[in-house]
Structure 1
Amino acid sequence: MAEAQPQIDKSAIRNAATVVLWRDGADGPAVLMGQRGAGAAFMPSKYVFPGGAVDDGDAMVPLANPLSDVCLGRLDQQSTPGLGSALAACAIRELWEETGLVIGAEGAWPGQVPDDWTGFAAAGRLPNAAPFSFVFRAITPPGRPRRFDARFFLANANDVIGDADDFSRASDELSHLHWVPITHARLLNLPFITEVVLAEITALLRSGGAPQSVPFFDNSGDRPMFRRLG
């Protein structure tokens, strides 16, 4: 008799990473967004940024350049220490899978390339976390079919290797991938937390500087808490 496989608790909080990729446009800053499928268990039909849950292998992915010490320090706060590199790798992998866009630096992979990264590695690139700035964190409230402890990373489209309008290598997880002027983004069908992130990004881009602290919507307990990671 085959051994029974352990059941995965899909309501458990999973670490996740999201990329807010932006560029200047005719109508001001624009961000890259796509629409989730109508049948998706989590946020069906919503427009979101590329992102997803951390895989077990993300911690072992070699980075050409790491996150900044400031970002790593903030990621360690009220979290598992040392998770920053896995989150950065996850963000780059999800961007690659969902949009086909590469944020990487020239380099050869040491050892065997994981299955999720073969196409990325074939471009002669190693994932590069240096362009990322950690700007937001949110934990999904209780009662949702999926729950994530999501960290949002901001990056400029200038750091994409190749054409930032070429989505030909994207998976089918997100449809209608396009660059949305931030001033128009709120007309889309957005999750509440995405609206909040857009407001934070708008203020950050106007100031032209790095965040002095990172907003954290903490729904890990019975009462929602708003914190700052400084």
Structure 2
Amino acid sequence: MNTTAQPFDAAQDLADAPATAGARQRPRDAATLILVRRGRRPEVLMGRRAPGHVFMASKWVFPGGRIDRADFLAAAATEPDGPTRARLEAELVPRRARALCLTAVRETFEETGLIVGRAAPAASVAGPWREFRAAGALPDLAALTYVARAITPPGRTRRFDARFFLADADALLAPEPTAGSGELDEIAWLPLEDARALDLPAITRFVLDEVSERLGNPDRPLPFVRMVRGAHQVTHV
């Protein structure tokens, strides 16, 4: 494990949402999924948050969101693979580690209509997994690789302890996104170099660079980004 200072602009990072008196607000567990189409010009799936959002309005982000109670109970076609499972369970109890993988898949489906899963008989279930299961699929958790962790700095309107996962587009049952829930007003596959030119939150830019490096070196240590004594710190494990 090693710890390094990183060239984050903390003021810009905090400006992604209005400051509040929530410095002591406890971060909520969340998960984000970076879908990648490999090739000569690798592409990532990103969406622009609608202008009316309090949190990161009009910013381009990867699909994701906070954990839901239903994610602890949802069925899956496959389980997280060895390295991803081991890394998550070094931080979390196994039940919560698995639930966060399911969060990443569910949020991606809700926001983009894309299914990271395997075909299965349609099933009728209650709650936020209803439409996913009705589409005739079960989540493919083995397709996810745990690649980064970040805790939202104090002072944000909302705080998350976010785990970032990477998955190949080959794991999708259909290759193109739909309108999803409407939380993202534009969704697109973008070459990495084009994505860097967008209006991105500081952490999204950091993770985008991490993904670019990881495509050539999949065994890179996992970065953990957080604020310590007013400065961003990155620990690699």
TM-score by length of 1: 0.86
Q: Distance in 1 between matches of 2:113 and 2:147?
A: 23
What amino acid maps onto 2:172 in structure 1? V
Gapped runs of 5+ residues in structure 1? 1-8
Q: How many correspondences in the alignment? A: 215
Q: Distance in 2 between matches of 1:80 and 1:160?
A: 28
Give the drift of 1:77: 2.7
Give the drift of 1:44: 1.1
What amino acid maps onto 1:21 in structure 2? L
Report the equivalent of 2:214.
Answer: 204
Report the equivalent of 2:5.
Answer: none
Gapped runs of 5+ residues in structure 2? 1-21
Q: Distance in 2 between matches of 1:32 and 1:154?
A: 11
> In the alignment, is residue 175 of structure 1 matched against residue 188 of structure 2?
no
> In the alignment, is residue 12 of structure 1 matched against residue 26 of structure 2?
yes
> CA 1:220/1:115 → structure 2, altered by over 3 Å: closer, same or farther?
farther
2:69 aligned residue (49, 56, 71): 56
> In the alignment, is residue 159 of structure 1 matched against residue 171 of structure 2?
yes
2:222 aligned residue (211, 214, 217): 214
Using the TM superposition, name which of 42-51 and 70-79 deviates more. 70-79
Give the match's secondary structure for 1:20.
strand
> In the alignment, is residue 92 of structure 1 matched against residue 105 of structure 2?
yes
What's the Cα RMSD here?
2.2
> CA 1:220/1:175 → structure 2, altered by over 3 Å: closer, same or farther?
farther
Q: Distance in 2 between matches of 1:185 and 1:42?
A: 20
Q: Distance in 1 between matches of 2:25 and 2:59?
A: 20
Using the TM superposition, name which of 95-104 and 114-123 deviates more. 114-123
Give the drift of 1:186: 1.3
Q: Distance in 2 between matches of 1:38 and 1:124?
A: 33
Give the match's secondary structure for 2:70.
helix
TM-score by length of 2: 0.83
Give the drift of 1:90: 0.4
1:137 aligned residue (149, 160, 172): 149
Contact 1:11 1:145 in 2 (8 A): no
Per-residue Cα deviation, 1:75-106 (whole angstroms, up to 9, x for no partner): 12344554211001100100100000111123
Report the equivalent of 1:30.
Answer: 43
Per-residue Cα deviation, 1:42-87 (whole angstroms, up to 9, x for no partner): 1111000000000112111111111112111211234455421100
What amino acid maps onto 2:158 in structure 1? R
Give the drift of 1:132: 0.5
User: Of the two structures, which has the highest relative contact order with CA contacts closer than 8 Å and spacing of 6 or more?
Assistant: 2
Q: Distance in 1 between matches of 2:231 and 2:202?
A: 18
Give the match's secondary structure for 1:116.
coil
Q: Distance in 1 between matches of 2:140 and 2:65?
A: 18
Contact 1:12 1:146 in 2 (8 A): no
Superposed, 1:70-109 pairs within 5 Å as 70-108=83-121
Give the drift of 1:107: 3.0
2:159 aligned residue (142, 147, 162): 147
Contact 1:17 1:52 in 2 (8 A): yes
